[in-house]
């Protein structure tokens, strides 16, 4: 990487005023290596053998030493034929042709120590800077599976709801690539101890606040996790407050429960039903999850939906009920186990 100095070498960082830059490829829009590390400052994790080791490590990581040392090594000296003059490289003012700040590049090249030093000293404007693919440092830390950096960015107050060019938040990326450890680092509440160790004030609620935010495909994080067939991620999102019935994906109006039925994932269907998934939620064409199960001749999922209260006689926009979609040779009782039918007040055993 060539080291360059801007004409305003004394500026404190990229300016957000005056419009956006043109968008071009920064080279991190594909799936990266699948390796995660536990973050070092989580509420339930210790940074070392004790409090003293933790504070010592934090002081070391966030001292000005790494930046001072880097700056001294990057001074641009003059040649022997030119008048004596020296210009010092200013990493805070650097911006690549792809719109990456120096912090973006530290994360891309996985230089963790220098990235942590920058995170400890820069402003929120710098932390939330989006490159030409609208990726923040938090997006890039997700792509490169650097969970420790993810956690430090969250503690410092990075905006976890900014969206990249595909509309994905960092949490969407965690669900898409099954980054469960990074998702926990992103969503776990920040403790007073973490703020104290990083020298942060009370900057409000950290991490994503709107778990129902949709990407440009109209998918929420929960729907992305269901499509990835990730039971653990679905469980984590539900326990973190994600709601099952609040959003329908944009193309056909499917809920997370519809998606689980289409995938034939009985375990996910049962978990979503326990979380309050509506078995009679209609798609844009009026089809409920039970319509989908009947059309796919899936008696296990159909039975689970009926037991949760799904109506087998509810018509879609074409006036077809789930019973109408069942194959004529299929035992209809597998689809609709009428175990609550009563004759003269007495239950009828089938």
Q: How far is CA 252 from CA 51, 246, 258, 294, in A?
A: 53, 15, 10, 18
| pLDDT average, residue stretch 250-254 | 87
| CATH 1.25.40.20 placement within the chain | 30-75+89-200, 218-350
> 3-class secondary structure for 35-94?
CCCCCCCCCCCCCCCCHHHHHHHHHHHCCCHHHHHHHHHCEECCCCCCCCCCEECCHHHC
Instruction: Say what percent of the chain tops pLDDT 70.
Output: 66
Nearest-angstrom CA–CA distance, 127 and 187:
18
| pLDDT average, residue stretch 122-127 | 90
Name the CATH topology of 30-75+89-200: 1.25.40
The β-bridge partners of 347 are 342
Q: What is the pLDDT of residue 326?
A: 75
Tens digit of each residue's pLDDT (9 = 90 or more) over 96-123: 999 999 999 999 999 999 999 999 888 8
Tell whether the model's pLDDT for residue 323 goes beyond 90.
Answer: no
Tell whether the model's pLDDT for residue 333 goes beyond 80.
Answer: no
Q: pLDDT band at 220, cuts 50/70/90? A: very high
Q: pLDDT band at 181, cuts 50/70/90? A: very high
Q: What is the pLDDT of residue 168?
A: 96
Between 52 and 249, residue with greater pLDDT:
249
Tens digit of each residue's pLDDT (9 = 90 or more) over 280-305: 999 999 999 999 999 888 889 999 99
| pLDDT average, residue stretch 296-316 | 91
> In sequence order, what are the residues at sequence separation of 6 or more whose Cβ sits closer than 8 angstroms to the Cβ of residue 30?
none
Between 23 and 102, residue with greater pLDDT:
102
343: helix, strand or coil:
strand
115-131 in b/e form (b: 16+ CB < 10 A) is: bbbbbbbbeeebbbbbb
Q: Would you list the DSSP string of 129-159?
A: ---TT---HHHHHHHTT-HHHHHHHHHTT--
Q: Which CATH number fits domain 218-350: 3.40.50.12780, 2.40.240.10, 2.60.120.260, 1.25.40.20?
A: 1.25.40.20
> In sequence order, what are the residues at sequence separation of 6 or more whose Cβ sits closer than 8 angstroms to the Cβ of residue 117?
61, 62, 63, 64, 65, 66, 67
User: Is residue 42 packed enough to be buried (19+ CB in 10 Å), middle (13-18) or exposed (0-12)?
Assistant: buried
217 in Cβ contact with 249 (< 8 Å)? yes
Tell whether the model's pLDDT for residue 203 goes beyond 70.
Answer: no
Write down the residue that tokens 């495909």 correspond to: 217
Q: Are strands 346-347 and 342-343 parallel, antiparallel or unpaired?
A: antiparallel
Q: pLDDT band at 325, cuts 50/70/90? A: confident
Nearest-angstrom CA–CA distance, 102 and 131:
11
Nearest-angstrom CA–CA distance, 160 and 186:
8
Q: pLDDT band at 251, cuts 50/70/90? A: confident
Tell whether the model's pLDDT for residue 16 goes beyond 50.
Answer: no
C-beta atoms surrounding 100 within 10 Å: 25
Q: What is the pLDDT of residue 235?
A: 94
Tell whether the model's pLDDT for residue 270 goes beyond 90.
Answer: yes
Mean pLDDT of all residues in the chain?
77
Tens digit of each residue's pLDDT (9 = 90 or more) over 28-67: 554 444 444 445 544 443 334 444 433 433 343 444 455 5
Q: What is the pLDDT of residue 335?
A: 61
What pTM does this model have?
Answer: 0.71
Q: What is the pLDDT of residue 332?
A: 58
Nearest-angstrom CA–CA distance, 335 and 39:
47
Say how many residues make up the chain: 350
Q: What is the pLDDT of residue 2?
A: 40
Q: pLDDT band at 245, cuts 50/70/90? A: confident
Q: What is the pLDDT of residue 341?
A: 44
Nearest-angstrom CA–CA distance, 233 and 275:
14
Tell whether the model's pLDDT for residue 68 goes beyond 60.
Answer: no
């Amino acid at each position: 990487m060539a080291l360059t100095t801007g004409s305003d070498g004394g500026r404190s960082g990229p300016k957000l005023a005056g419009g956006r830059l043109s968008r071009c490829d920064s080279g991190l829009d594909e799936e990266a290596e699948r390796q995660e590390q536990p973050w070092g400052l989580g509420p339930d994790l210790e940074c070392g053998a004790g409090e003293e080791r933790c504070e010592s490590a934090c002081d070391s990581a966030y001292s000005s030493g790494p930046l001072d040392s880097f700056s001294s090594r990057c001074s641009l000296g003059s040649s022997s034929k030119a008048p004596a003059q020296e210009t010092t490289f200013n990493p805070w003012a650097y911006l690549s042709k792809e719109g990456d700040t120096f912090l973006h590049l530290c994360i891309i090249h996985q230089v963790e120590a220098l990235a942590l030093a920058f995170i400890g000293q820069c402003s929120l404007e710098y932390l939330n800077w989006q490159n030409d693919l609208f990726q923040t440092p938090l997006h890039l830390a997700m792509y490169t599976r650097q969970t420790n950096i993810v956690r430090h960015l969250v503690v410092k107050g990075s905006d976890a709801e900014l969206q990249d060019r595909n509309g994905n938040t960092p949490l969407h990326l965690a669900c898409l690539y099954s980054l469960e450890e990074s998702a926990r680092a992103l969503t776990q509440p920040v403790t007073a101890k973490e703020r104290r160790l990083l020298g942060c004030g009370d900057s409000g609620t950290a991490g994503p606040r709107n778990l129902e935010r949709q990407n440009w495909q109209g998918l929420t994080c929960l729907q992305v996790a269901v499509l990835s067939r990730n039971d653990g991620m679905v469980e984590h999102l539900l326990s973190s407050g994600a709601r099952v019935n609040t959003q329908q994906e944009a193309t056909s109006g499917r809920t997370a429960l519809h998606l689980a039925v289409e995938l034939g994932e009985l375990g996910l269907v049962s978990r979503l039903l326990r979380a309050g998934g509506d078995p009679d939620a209609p798609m844009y064409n009026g089809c409920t999850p039970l319509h989908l199960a009947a059309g796919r001749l899936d008696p296990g999922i159909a039975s689970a939906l009926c037991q949760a209260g799904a109506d087998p006689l509810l018509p879609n926009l074409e006036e077809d009920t789930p019973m109408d979609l069942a194959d004529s040779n299929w035992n209809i009782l597998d689809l609709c186990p009428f175990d609550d039918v009563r004759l003269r007040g007495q239950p009828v055993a089938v």
